[in-house]
Amino acid sequence: MYVCVCNALTDRKIRSLSECSRGTVADAYRALGIKVQCGKCVPIVRSILDGPQPETPKTASIPAFAMPSQLGVGLVDA
Ligand code: FES
């Protein structure tokens, strides 16, 4: 969803910012290489920055080399 028409900025792009770029609206805009123009987007960008962050996908811990039985799979009989 576009949240800043002046800069064609979407909520997805704001949410994709790294943690260190998410301080203030000015920090976020600076990280994105854009500037506030009319300012109508500032409250919604602030609410996105203050809102819940997307969860980091959890990855299973799989060793570099694992036996099929360690992965919970069996060998196929021929
Ligand atoms: S809508 Fe974002 S600066 Fe105008």
| Residue nearest ligand 1's atom 4 by CA | 38
Tokens 């009989």 belong to: 77
The model's pLDDT over 19-78, given as tens digits with 9 standing for 90+, comes to: 777 789 999 999 999 999 999 999 999 999 988 765 655 566 656 666 677 767 776 666
CB-CB neighbours of 29 under 10 Å? 20
The best mutation among 1, 2, 4, 14 to test binding of ligand 1, ranked by most ligand atoms within 8 Å of the C-beta, falls on 4
Q: How far apart are CA 66 and CA 52, in angstroms?
A: 36
Written as one string, the DSSP assignment of the chain is: -EEETTTTEEHHHHHTS-GGG-SSHHHHHHHHT---SS-TTHHHHHHHHHSPPPPPPP-----SS--GGGGT--PPP-
Res 52: pLDDT: 77
The architecture that CATH gives domain 2-50 is Orthogonal Bundle (1.10)
